[in-house]
Amino acid sequence: MTPDLLTTYTAIINGCGIADVSDHARLWAEGRDRIDLIHRMSTNDLLNMAENEGRATVLTTAVARMVDRIVVINLAERALVLGSAGMAPAIRRWLAGYIFFQDEVRFVDATAETGQFVLFGPKAGAVAEMLIPGAGALPPFHVLRREGLVLGRGDPLVGSSFFGVAAKDQLTRWTSASAAAGAVAADRELYQLLRVESGLPEIGHEIGEGYIPLEAGLWGDVSFTKGCYIGQEIIARMESRGKLAKRLMGVRAEGPLMVGVEFEGGVVTSAAHSPRLGWIGLAFVRTARAEPGAGVDIAGTRATIAALPFEA
C-alpha cells in the first residue's frame, strides 16, 4: 500500500469514506403488484413496508442458490430495487419471468439514468446528516428523500454505511457536498479492502449460484414465517435442522492469499492486504472446521480461521 493510500485508509477508518458505486444495479418497480411480486419471488417478507422503508432480500433458484441480494425500498408511488454491480439485466430478467397475466407490474432499468454512491465509516452518519437532516438516525435500509436524492442506511461497512441514489446529472452535487462535510474519496482497491475487513459478501465472490443465503451469513435477509418462494423448502429445511454444509468465515494468513485457492475444508473467495491485519480473506469453510482460532494451511501458508467482521 502506497503512503497516500495508507493516509486515505487511516482517514476513513477514523472518519468517513465515499465511493462511487454507479455500476451497481438500480431498477424502478412500477404498478399495483410491484412489491408483492418481489415478495413472492424472494427470501424476505416485503409486505406492509411503510413509505421510505426498505428491506434486503435474496433472489434464489429452485435449489436455493443465490441469483443476487437486493434491497427493495417502498417509495409509495413506485419501488426502488438496488442490486449488485452489473446485475440489473439479470435481476430484471429474473423477476419479469415470473409475472403472471393478472399481475400489474413492470421493471425499468434505471442504472443508466441514475448514479449511486456509498458513505462508510464511523462518521458516515454525521456526513449523511449534513445531506439530509435526520438521515443519521435511520434504521437499516430506510431512506429519506430530498431534492431528488434518495439517501438510506446500508450494511455495516467499516461499522456504518449509507447509500445515495440520484439522477446522474445531480450526483456530483451530492458527492461534492459529502466531501465538503468530511468524506474522503476511496478508490475501488481501498473499497474492496474495507469490504473484506467488514466481512461483507459481494457478487462474484460470496454471492452467486454456488452458495445459499444462510451459508453467506444473510440470515437477516430471510423470513422463516412467510409463505412459499423459490428455494424456500431447502432454506427452511437447513434452518430447522440447524445444519449448514459450510459457513462464511474470515481467514488471517502469514503470507499472500489468492482468491479461488482451496484448502482442507474450505475455499478462499476474497483476499486483501490490510495495514492493520496483514493478509486477510473471506472463505467458505465446512461447518465442522469453522471455528475461530483454528489453524489451517492454505497453499503452504499458515492461516487462522477468524470471526467476522475482523477485529484488529
For every residue of the chain, which 3-state class applies, written as one string? CCHHHHHHHHHHHCCCEEEECCCEEEEEEECCCHHHHHHHHECCCCCCCCCCCEEEEEEECCCCCEEEEEEEEECCCCEEEEEEECCHHHHHHHHHCCCCCCCCCEEEECCCCEEEEEEECCCHHHHHHHHCCCHHHCCECCEEEECCEEEEECCCHHHCEEEEEEEHHHHHHHHHHHHHCCCEECCHHHHHHHHHHHCCCCECCCECCCCCCCCCCCHHHCCCCCCCCCCHHHHHHHHHHCCCCEEEEEEEECCCCCCCCEECCEEEEEEEEECCCEEEEEEEEEHHHCCCCCEEEECCEEEEEECCCCCC
What is the pTM assigned to this prediction?
Answer: 0.96
- In this model, does residue 229 exceed pLDDT 80? yes
In a domain, 128, yes or no: yes
Instruction: State pLDDT tens for residues 94-129.
Output: 999 989 889 999 999 999 999 999 999 999 999 999
**Is residue 233 assigned to a domain?**
no
232 domain residue, yes or no: no
Q: pLDDT tens across 70-82, in order?
A: 999 999 999 999 9
Statement to judge: residues 106 and 38 lie in one domain: yes
Same domain, 256 and 177: no
pLDDT tens per residue, range 40-61:
999 999 999 999 999 999 999 9
**Per-residue confidence band for 202, with pLDDT thresholds at 50, 70 and 90:** very high
Question: Are both 50 and 174 inside the same structural domain?
Answer: yes
Report the CATH number at residue 98: 3.30.1360.120
pLDDT classification of 243: cutoffs 50, 70, 90 = confident
Q: Mean pLDDT throughout 215-227? A: 95
Please report whether residue 273 resides in a domain.
Answer: yes
Same domain assignment for residues 15 and 116: yes
In a shared domain, residues 289 and 172: no
Q: What is the per-residue pLDDT for 312?
A: 79
Task: Give yes or no: residues 251 and 177 share one domain.
Answer: no
**182 and 82 share one domain:** yes
Same domain for 152 and 249, yes or no, is no
Given this model, what pLDDT does residue 240 score?
78
41 is a domain residue = yes
Residue 31 lies in a domain: yes
The reply to whether 18 and 150 lie within a common domain is yes
Examine the pLDDT at 272 and tell me if it is beyond 80. Answer: yes
Residue 69 lies in a domain: yes
- 194, 228, 255 — which closes off a domain? 194
Please give the residue range of the domain that contains residue 158.
3-194
Please give the tally of structural domains in the chain.
Answer: 2
Say if 213 falls within a structural domain. Answer: no
Looking at the structure, tell me whether residues 112 and 19 fall in a common domain: yes
Among the three residues 194, 212, 229, which one is the final residue of a domain in this structure? 194
Q: Which residue has the higher pLDDT, 238 or 59?
A: 59
Contact between residue 156 and residue 309 where contact means Cβ atoms under 8 Å apart: yes
- Do 140 and 278 sit in the same domain of this protein? no
Do 68 and 127 belong together in one domain? yes
Residue 303's domain is classified under what CATH number?
Answer: 2.40.30.110
